[in-house]
Amino acid sequence: MIPFQAGVTSHPELADVPLIGTLAKTEEGRRIFEFQNSDAGIGWSVVAPPNVSPERVALLRRAFDAMAADSEFRDDARKRGLDVTPASGEALTAIIERTIATPTEALVTLKTILGIQ
């Protein structure tokens, strides 16, 4: 049995296993767990440099989504033993924005817990 998942989204094969953040007893605790585990939601992402036009970002996102849905790509990944669970650019942006918006009080608490001052 797996007691919990790290990350901010559930793995499709572990839908019944709770995310660690859902086990927190307070909103501050949930935000701390989300902050600590946000990198799991981002994973091995493809990024572009700053100031790329919205049109170009949309084009790149569509191309990535098409590649990730391509049966040849998925078959090749499976043959290599790779677990491919792509997320949309919009979903990754939401994770990043929520991570950046972590309340200062939660970060202070986390630093205290970790012994960082």
Q: Is the pLDDT of residue 12 over 70?
A: yes
Residue 28's pLDDT is: 96
pLDDT in tens, 20-42: 999 999 999 999 999 999 888 78
pLDDT in tens, 40-51: 878 777 888 999
Residue 106's pLDDT is: 96
* The token pair that represents 41 in the structure block: 């939601």
- Output the pTM of the full model: 0.75
pLDDT in tens, 36-93: 998 887 877 788 899 999 999 999 999 999 999 999 999 999 999 998 888 888 888 8
